[in-house]
Amino acid sequence: MKEPSAEPAVTPPASRLPPLPAVLIKNVRLLDPVADTDTTGCLGFRDGRIDYHGPAAPKGARYDETIDGSGLWLMPGAVDLCARMREPGHTQKATMRSESTAALAAGITALCLPPDTRPVIDNTAVVVRVNRIAKAAGGAYVYMLGALTRGLEGDALSEMSALKQAGCVGVGNGLAPVANTLIARRALEYASSLGITVHVVPLDPALANGGCAHEGAVATRLGLPPIPVSAEAVAMRQWISLVEDTGARVHFGRLSSARGVALLESAQARGLPVTADVAAHQLFLTDEDLDGFNAMAHVLPPLRTAQDRDALRAAVRAGSIGAICSDHQPHEADAKINPLPMTEPGISSLETLLPLALRLVHEGVLTPLQAAARLAPGPAAVLGVEAGSLGPGARADLVLVDPALEWQLDPSAMRSRGRNTPFARQNFAGRAVRTWLGAH
């Protein structure tokens, strides 16, 4: 087989390029996390839907293109639970077009936009506007979270019913605090009555106190304002207590600590409807990566210790953390050049989501099937959307992966407008070489 190019090829979305091609992929490793199968065989799709999955090529069926997938993996396209596209409101950093096309090239076929755009996604007019921008941009499919409170100000509930009717797949307050526990409880009661999942980034604002680094030896040595683990743990305990009262579904986004994992697993063991994700960079980096005042490693929640990182990895392997996300936050160069506490947190991470998941496979943390599960059906279940299956009739949101392709991350070659990454110049093994987006 001819070696795939190191530059991923992108098949544009169905809504932008009708009619969709009929494609047959032969001799490929098929990773189907919904069916829990890892086999070698053939898969065909036409009109944006999978129409064949079997050990050998179908007899008599005609396809527009046939691909020899020897040595490659075919898996469902990734569903990213948190990606800031910077539009509307911050187009000096990136645009919907630049980021959604970068996502598709990187094997991400759907992503979820947090509500902290400008204006905030707290009314149906903004939902319609964002949908219009996303449709015109092309690239990966964009889902949205609506605001939990009006303007994300924390003191008055949003019109969740209208937001759900407009197409929001959940609600949340981003990193903005909710004023008090009574409002949080009323929000959960309202969301529960509508069957909406509430997305929570557990970070107590008083304990976080404007900090930028994990409270530990590194922050002390560098003189950086700290964020204790208790900022995550206290917030999680509060929301879990309210889930016990209301029965509402809560998804904890971007866990960062071993204590957070323990609280999550305790709640799940008691049958509470709580789920969680982790950002891919939290599974590799620690607070030691801030040495030298490395602003590229300034993220919220902060990078914590190696013990925390290992606990997060174990939870991803066990499935208590059911999704890995990018937590994509592209920035212009000026956002990372000030003294570290004054820099803007976040990593441009669409293009490292799949490669870092593959690194977990190469390191023996996850099996290929587990990696596929944490990237597609796990996050899709949180959003309540169709994704993650290779079965006949499923939507053909697919990524063809070369797991052995060696490459180096060159920020200047990134498709995202954001070049802010602590993984610059690192070597990777494995990436997407072809992506398809099915009929939505």
Q: Is the distance from CB of 143 to CB of 380 less than 8 angstroms?
A: no
Cβ contacts of 104 within 8 Å, gap of 6 or more: 10, 13, 139, 140, 435, 437
Phi and psi at 49, nearest 5°, equal -130, 145
In whole angstroms, give the CA distance from residue 175 to residue 272.
23
Distance of CA 190 to the CA centre of its chain: 26
Question: Which two tokens mark 410?
Answer: 């060159």
Q: Which of 308, 327, 397, 402 is catalytic?
A: 327
Q: What is the DSSP letter of 300?
A: S
Question: Which two tokens mark 25?
Answer: 């992929």
**Alpha-carbon distances, residue 399 vs 29, 63, 316, 375, 440 (angstroms):** 12, 18, 21, 11, 16
In whole angstroms, give the CA distance from residue 142 to residue 149.
22
Q: How many residues does the chain have?
A: 440
Sign of the C-alpha dihedral computed for residues 115, 119, 121 and 127 taken in this order: negative
In whole angstroms, give the CA distance from residue 289 to residue 432.
27
Active site residue 327: yes
Question: Which of 162, 194, 192, 157 is CA-nearest to residue 173?
Answer: 157
Q: Is the distance from CB of 146 to CB of 170 less than 8 angstroms?
A: yes
Looking at the annotation, which residues are catalytic? 327
